[in-house]
Structure 1
Amino acid sequence: MNAETLWADYCAAIGESGPVPPIDVFGDNPVMNDELLDLVLEGTKRATCCLARDFAEGDQPKIGDYWIIADGAGTPRAIIRTCHIELKAICDVDDSFAHIEGEGDKSLAYWKTEHDAYFQRQATAEGFVYDDSMIGICEQFDCVWPQ
């Protein structure tokens, strides 16, 4: 299925309209993309965190934004809608957020280890210095499609 069809099916089912949302993946490799998408589809993963530096001023996610989430092969599989956003230093992420992000054992220790490693890989690839005082966009979402 392509993004246009996925979005059209969702819009027809609920009476929504608008342009096809951006397509993205969770994670930085196809295996991780599939694993994290599965958690979204199960309802376990209901949040994500990225670095605020990844967005130009004014382009940060907003409540009500839709995203289409693809699997590791690039196939659009789900539509999510942002329901809450909080900007905070990565070192200030708490147990509650780690739990609703739904990865691993859902603990803050797991979250911190995995996200520090992820952001360090990003920093190496993009040529910046990562430290956990950087501001993260802690975004909560609902998986709205498939129902």
Structure 2
Amino acid sequence: MHSMDRLKAKYPGANAWQIGDSQILANELAGLIRQGIKTASCGSFASYQQEECAPRIGSYNIILDGQDVPVCVIRLVSMQLVRFCDVTEEFARKEGEGDLSLEYWRKEHQRFFIQEGYFSDEMELIAEEFKVVEIL
């Protein structure tokens, strides 16, 4: 078992977090990242701007499962600003969720952003792509 201290020492400045808005989803998404199926993620530009330690290209992140156990370490390789309505099928597939279709991506992310408090077809997202650098 990797201690968080040891991981933080190996990857200085790395943030540790769960992806998704529930324990079940966090477990599922951490598994998809670990398997190399999910290589992208996105969030609203507005919430990104409010983050104290927003990720930067080249930064490392420790992905936690729903029980806050480290699953893997990823490195952010690209970020771009894109409107919700301009997200491509290719990007939806890289998100690795559901049946990998753009339709599924739109439906799930619309649900997520409504729950987060704001959704618009024109809303700006930060679209991130990453690669797994260590499986724990």
State TM-score, norm by structure 1: 0.83
- Structure of higher CA gyration radius: 1
Q: Is the contact made by 1:2 and 1:75 (CA closer than 8 Å) also made in structure 2?
A: no
Structure 1 stretches of 4+ with a deviation exceeding 4 A read: 57-60
Once residues 47 and 93 of structure 2 are traced to their aligned partners in structure 1, the CA distance between those partners, rounded to angstroms, is 24
Query: How far apart are the structure 2 equivalents of 1:5 and 1:59?
Result: 20
**CA–CA distance in 2 between the matches of 1:87 and 1:60?**
14
Report the counterpart of residue 29 of structure 1 in structure 2: 22
1:41 to 34, 38, 59: 34
Report the equivalent of 2:45. 52
Displacement of 1:130 in angstroms is: 1.9
Q: Does 1:3 align with 2:4?
A: yes
**Displacement after TM superposition at 1:60 (Å):** 4.3
Partner of 2:116: 122
Matched residue, 1:143: 132
The letter for the 1-side match of 2:102 is L
Runs of 5+ consecutive residues of structure 2 not aligned to the other structure: none
Are 1:65 and 2:54 an aligned pair?
no
Give structure 1 stretches of 5+ with no counterpart.
12-16, 124-128
Q: Distance in 1 between matches of 2:93 and 2:67?
A: 27
Q: Which residue of 2 aligns with 1:14?
A: none
1:100 aligns with 2:91: no
The alignment of Structure 1 onto Structure 2 pairs a total of residues equal to 134
